[in-house]
Amino acid sequence: MKPTSKFSEHIHEHCRVKEYLNLVKGPSFLIPSLCFTLLLSFYFLCGSNTLKSTFERGDYHVQRESLDQLGNRRPDNEKCDLSKGRWIRDVKEPLYTNFSCKTLPHHKNCFLHGRMDRDFLHWRWKPDQCELPVFNPRSFLNIVKGKTMGFIGDSLARNHVDSLLCLLSEEETPQEVYRGDEGGKTITWHFPHHNFTIMVLWSQFLVSASEMVVNGSATDSFHLHLDKIDESWAQKLPALDYAIISAGHWFFRTNYVSEGGRFLGCIYSHDPNATYLTPDIAIQGVFRLALKSINDCNNCSRMLTLVRTFSPAHFENGAWNMGGTCNRTSPLAPEEINYNGVEWDNRNVQLAEVENAHKLGEKRGRTFDVLDVTGAMSMRPDGHPDVHWDPFWAKGTSDCIHWCLPGPVDTWNEILLETLRRHASEDVKN
Ligand SMILES: *[C@@H]1O[C@H](CO)[C@@H](O)[C@H](O)[C@H]1NC(C)=O
Ligand SMILES: *[C@@H]1O[C@H](CO)[C@@H](O)[C@H](O)[C@H]1NC(C)=O
Ligand SMILES: *[C@@H]1O[C@H](CO)[C@@H](O)[C@H](O)[C@H]1NC(C)=O
Ligand SMILES: *[C@@H]1O[C@H](CO)[C@@H](O)[C@H](O)[C@H]1NC(C)=O
Ligand SMILES: *[C@@H]1O[C@H](CO)[C@@H](O)[C@H](O)[C@H]1NC(C)=O
Ligand SMILES: *[C@@H]1O[C@H](CO)[C@@H](O)[C@H](O)[C@H]1NC(C)=O
């Protein structure tokens, strides 16, 4: 059901759109503006400083490894929790560079935009109970050959795909075979030698959402329908063998939430007449519906669905538009992380929904699991572009949301490969 304008007006009375949401807007047909608009969503998050203001270089145990130890690491424990660990020193260079990766996007190419420090590349994620193998593009392509993998979400899902394309291009160059007409929000790449297909399916809320228009101008506030899936991705499900699904950053703004025609409340509105909602309430509803849609999909195969958990931002000394930056050059230790921040609320509701969906999915041959990156990425304030993204769009604004390529975001694909490997070996056993 499309909201009638009467309904929109009605809920608008109950959560007034904050004026500052109109302050900055980029043209909506260009990709960089998507990421610029995304920065807007951090207005609120930035207020709550998620990092300790006084930072001391972690005196945690720094381990150095020689190159020959890095070759064929295999997790010694198949059940080991990949989400708990720390970043340790690593001498090896990243698998790709801004020369070798032809698909590396302009605004994640931090070195092109003047980033000088390189130390942030020399850390690897070490789970407490095992080793995480170095990304091996050949192993990855062998597991996924003949299959189709869809990445569903916002510009951070795209960041994940961009990292994967760069890593895999060391083995086979991806070919772009489809680009939707909405400014590159839907793109398909194919690896002909492995007949592997990657799709990126843009959906910043996963559910049906309409931008609120007040007096003829867009407001950057959205009306979310927790009972109505965003068909733009859901209709593609029958084509997928793997769905990597994520969302989060667009919920950090004044959004209106309703379900079944009933108005539930507003995110971040202090209007006394409206129920105040925090982003995790909406995120929980959205993931519940998204995973249910996958479970209920009649035409879908035995899909593996992985929820990539919330990816934290790291603005310090101010909000994104108030001079906030992220110019650290090394990781934090687990002891330095604030585990009470909003990113943990988001991640926790995501885990709960995956667990429920997994129980329901077992009978239907659907498997649900997580790529739980929230902890690892909380420790990487040094991994964002900061001011090194795009001089035209940046205009002195720091991007502390997305991640440099190469950089710590490549670890998401090491976790993805290890997760695929575990599920593939379970399939062999069954
Ligand atoms: C790659 O990064 C270097 C700096 O490390 C920069 O000088 C160069 O222009 C970049 N090349 C490309 C193709 O982005
Ligand atoms: C490639 O994979 C698709 C499924 O993704 C399949 O339909 C097709 O037959 C495969 N083509 C070849 C040449 O194996
Ligand atoms: C819409 O425009 C009218 C007339 O210009 C004005 O009176 C009203 O306050 C505006 N409403 C909002 C919500 O800005
Ligand atoms: C809240 O609702 C009451 C009664 O409808 C109304 O008088 C009041 O102006 C509203 N307050 C706000 C802040 O909208
Ligand atoms: C699902 O399968 C049915 C019958 O095979 C077909 O009619 C329908 O179009 C399919 N739906 C989608 C979304 O592919
Ligand atoms: C990092 O940014 C802060 C402002 O947030 C600034 O005071 C500081 O000088 C910067 N450090 C470096 C090394 O650029």
- 165 to each of 159, 170, 173, 336, 413, how far by Cα in Å? 10, 9, 8, 32, 10
Active site residue 241: no
- Distance CA(49)–CA(200), nearest Å, equals 32
Task: Write b or e for each residue in 30-45: b if 16 or more Cβ atoms lie within 10 A of its Cβ, otherwise e.
Answer: ebbebbbbbbbbbbbb
What does DSSP assign to residue 304?
E
The pLDDT of residue 394: 62
Q: Where are the alpha helices (DSSP H) in 221-368?
A: 231-234, 279-296, 342-361
The pLDDT of residue 397: 85
Active site residue 160: no
Mean pLDDT value across the chain: 83
* Ligand 4 atom with minimal separation from the 271 CA: 13
Predicted confidence band of residue 214 (pLDDT cuts 50, 70, 90): confident
Identify the active-site residue in 155, 169, 208, 398.
155
The pLDDT of residue 393: 63
How does pLDDT run across 299-342, given as a tens digit for each residue? 898 899 999 999 999 999 988 778 899 999 999 999 999 999 88
Active site residue 107: no
* Ligand 2 atom with minimal separation from the 239 CA: 5
Amino acid at 205: F
Higher pLDDT, 8 or 106: 106
Ligand nearest to the CA of 396: 6
Residue 273, token pair as written in the block: 């007449």
Residue 278, token pair as written in the block: 């925090």
The pLDDT of residue 74: 52
The pLDDT of residue 161: 98
